[in-house]
Amino acid sequence: MSAITAPTDTRPPGAPAPAGQADKPAGKAGKAGMSTMKKVLLGLGGSYLLGLVFFIAVFGFKPHKSLQVLHNTFTPTDEFKLSTWFSAGPIDFNKGVLYVLIAAVLTLWILFYVAKRLKQRPGRLQTAVEMFYGLTESMTNDSLHDNKLQKKYFPLIATLFIFILVSNMIGYIPLPIDTLEKFKVFGAHIPSFQIYAADTNVAFPLILSLLVFCLFTWERLKAQHGPIGFLKSLMPSGITGPIKPLIFVIEILSYFLRLISLTVRLWANLLAGHMLIAFMGGELGVLVGDPWVQWLLLPIGLAIFAFEAVLIAGLQAFIFSILTAIYLGDAVSSH
Amino acid sequence: MPVAAHIPIASSGSFLITPNVGLMIWVLVVFIVVFLVLRKWVFPLIGQALDARALTISSDIDAAEKLRIDADAVLAEYRQRLVEARAQADEIISRARVAGDAHQKEAIETARAERERLLEQTRRDVEAETRRAIDEIRSEVAALTVLATEKVTRKVLTGEDHKRLVEEALRELDFSALGGGDN
């Protein structure tokens, strides 16, 4: 997102900001008797069309590519690069680490805040936390039928859910963390604002998936009393004949692909979502050099942003944690 | 529309699919810390609170059920009493009506007897007064008769004369009109 303004600022000085443009006519638009919603929609639509006409009139259809684009030095994916801010021995600190730490602090703060103020009649935040607790508890109990295992793995599944959810949600808040692109404020070089999530880097989901994979493999080994039983348990019952080795290979592959699927599902969804928001929110316009393209695609970018923030963030956290529960349940109940 | 001939999307994008080991270690450490803290201090608190609420709700439901049963019993008793009260009220009304009728009849009889008694009393009083008046008139007539006789005969009458004259005069008088036809 930072690349929208960083490579080239095609908007002339004094040009109204998109939000300002959208707001002003919204108040004047409409006639007596129109509902407020209709007036606002008409105002926004009118502003959008006016903005489009404005950018075409001022800049025309001639591309205004920035030097970085012309010299092929602007790469939209660079905003997902983890540049080291500082190192403490072998430990690097970058924006990915910052987001992981923010997610951890926020997760702990929210849950501690609620846990220390639990009331008989819950407020909104307590209700949300209780819903999360109930959801993860029921998904654990549905997958793991042994009471001991439920108690053992519920904290892990619940922590996975809330930690990934918070990581995803903070990924939609623009923060000044893009150190590759900076802007000046009173002479100070401030990193550009960017929406970034730690799980857009494959390392985040991969390590969590590895953790889950190791755990359910360990549980299966325990449940099947060793590697032989483990391998036998992967074979579906009732298969005989020459197809057996083929099925065995497929089952082994599918077992190990769980690691890949867990990782890629979360990572690709988050990365693709952030890239789509960035592209539709302006980067495509920067690449083609047409300010009107930026303006044209902005509503699509906003719609994708809303879709990702409202649906995908929670859905991916839910899928990751429920798959963990299912894999663990499968590990202890397979024969 | 001059669309860019090529868009350098991932000219150096291999970092996207290359896991950053440093970040992996950070995520693992931070996640384990968060997990341990939540498991130790947060989840038990929330679990206890939810269990306590479930218990409260369960006991509230039981209490509400008991209350409902009690209320049903009270309502049935109340209805029974209402039916009894209505029956009693009907009985009281009917008894009051009967008593009222009897009282009214008695009052009418009493009033009638009193009227008869008063009429009789009045009649007796009138008779007595009439008798007394007749006696007075008789005395007056006797006195006048004696006086008139003395003036006519110019002599003083004796007691025997008086008595004879009065009786003669009274015999000639008709007192039937004064006595209402009875004398």
Structure tokens at B121: 């009393």
- Torsion angle defined by CA atoms of residues A35, A39, A45 and A51, in that order, rounded to the nearest 10 degrees: -170
The DSSP letter of residue A2 is G
Q: In chain B, whose CA is at the least distance from the CA of A104? A: B34
**Pick the residue with more confidence: A15 or A162?**
A162
> Which residues in chain B are contacts of A207 at CB distance < 8 A?
19, 24-25, 27-28, 31
Token look-up 């005069």 returns: B169
Q: What is the pLDDT of residues A124-168, one digit of tens each?
A: 999 999 999 999 999 999 999 999 999 999 999 999 999 999 999
Cβ <8 Å between A202 and B19 = yes
How far apart are the C-alpha atoms of A19 and A37, rounded to whole Å?
Answer: 17
- Of the segments A27-41, A283-297, B144-158, which one has the largest average pLDDT value? A283-297
Structure tokens at A308: 């990702």
Paired sense of beta strands A188-194 and A175-185, if any:
antiparallel
pLDDT confidence band for A334 (50 / 70 / 90): low
Cβ <8 Å between A133 and B27 = no
Average pLDDT over residues A302-325: 95
The percentage of residues in chain B with a pLDDT greater than 70, rounded to a whole number, is 86
What is the number of CB-based contacts under 8 A between chain A and chain B?
A: 140
Q: Could you give the angle at the alpha carbon of A160 between the alpha carbons of A156 and A163, nearest 5°? A: 130
Q: In the prediction, which pLDDT does A40 show?
A: 93
Q: In the prediction, which pLDDT does A216 show?
A: 95
Q: In the prediction, which pLDDT does A273 show?
A: 94
Lowest mean pLDDT segment, chosen from A12-26, A46-60, B79-93, B118-132: A12-26
| B178 belongs to a structural domain | no
Cβ <8 Å between A100 and B23 = yes
Q: In the prediction, which pLDDT does A185 show?
A: 87
Q: Write down the domain spans for chain A.
A: 68-333
Cβ <8 Å between B23 and A287 = no
Q: In the prediction, which pLDDT does A221 show?
A: 94
pLDDT of residue A1 exceeding 60, the answer is no
> Which residues in chain A are contacts of B55 at CB distance < 8 A?
none
Average pLDDT over residues A281-297: 85
Q: In the prediction, which pLDDT does B12 show?
A: 52
Q: Which of B23, B38, B50 comes nearest A204 by C-beta?
A: B23
Domain span holding position B50: 31-172
> What's the distance, CA A22 to chain centroid?
28
The percentage of residues in chain B with a pLDDT greater than 90, rounded to a whole number, is 58
The b-or-e profile of A10-32 (16+ CB within 10 A means b, else e) is bbeeeeeebeebbeebbeebbee
How far apart are the C-alpha atoms of A259 and A262, rounded to whole Å?
Answer: 5
Cβ <8 Å between B10 and A75 = yes
Cβ <8 Å between A288 and B4 = yes
Cβ <8 Å between A133 and B3 = no
pLDDT confidence band for B4 (50 / 70 / 90): very low
Q: Residues with Cβ < 8 Å from B127, sequence gap 6 or more?
A: none
Q: How many domains does chain B have?
A: 1
> Which residues in chain B are contacts of A100 at CB distance < 8 A?
23, 26-27, 30
pLDDT of residue A17 exceeding 80, the answer is no
Q: In the prediction, which pLDDT does B183 show?
A: 43
Report helix, strand or coil for A152: helix
Cβ <8 Å between B50 and A133 = yes
Q: Which of B9, B15, B23, B30 to mutate to test the interface with A (most CBs of A within 10 A)?
A: B23
The minimum CA-CA distance between A204 and chain B, rounded to whole Å, is 6
| B5 belongs to a structural domain | no
Alpha-carbon radius of gyration of chain B: 64
pLDDT confidence band for A255 (50 / 70 / 90): very high
Cβ <8 Å between B39 and A155 = yes
Structure tokens at A122: 């819950």
Q: Which of A107, A116, A165 to mutate to test the interface with B (most CBs of B within 10 A)?
A: A107
Q: In chain A, whose CA is at the least distance from the CA of B18? A: A202
Average pLDDT over residues B12-18: 74
Q: In the prediction, which pLDDT does A83 show?
A: 84
Structure tokens at A250: 């497929």
| B37 belongs to a structural domain | yes
Pair B46, A115: CB distance under 8 Å? yes
| B103 belongs to a structural domain | yes
Average pLDDT over residues B84-96: 95
Q: Which of B16, B24, B34 comes nearest A159 by C-beta?
A: B34
Cβ <8 Å between A77 and B28 = no
Cβ <8 Å between A112 and B42 = yes
How far apart are the C-alpha atoms of B143 and A249, rounded to whole Å?
Answer: 171
> Which residues in chain B are contacts of A213 at CB distance < 8 A?
none
B54 to chain A, any CB pair closer than 8 A? The answer is no
The minimum CA-CA distance between A62 and chain B, rounded to whole Å, is 8
Cβ <8 Å between A211 and B7 = no
B180 to chain A, any CB pair closer than 8 A? The answer is no
Q: Residues with Cβ < 8 Å from B67, sequence gap 6 or more?
A: none
Q: In the prediction, which pLDDT does A335 show?
A: 54
pLDDT of residue A102 exceeding 60, the answer is yes
Q: In the prediction, which pLDDT does A62 show?
A: 78
Cβ <8 Å between B41 and A154 = no
pLDDT of residue B140 exceeding 60, the answer is yes
Q: In the prediction, which pLDDT does B176 show?
A: 65
> Which residues in chain B are contacts of A130 at CB distance < 8 A?
46, 50
Average pLDDT over chain A, rounded to an integer: 86
Cβ <8 Å between A112 and B12 = no
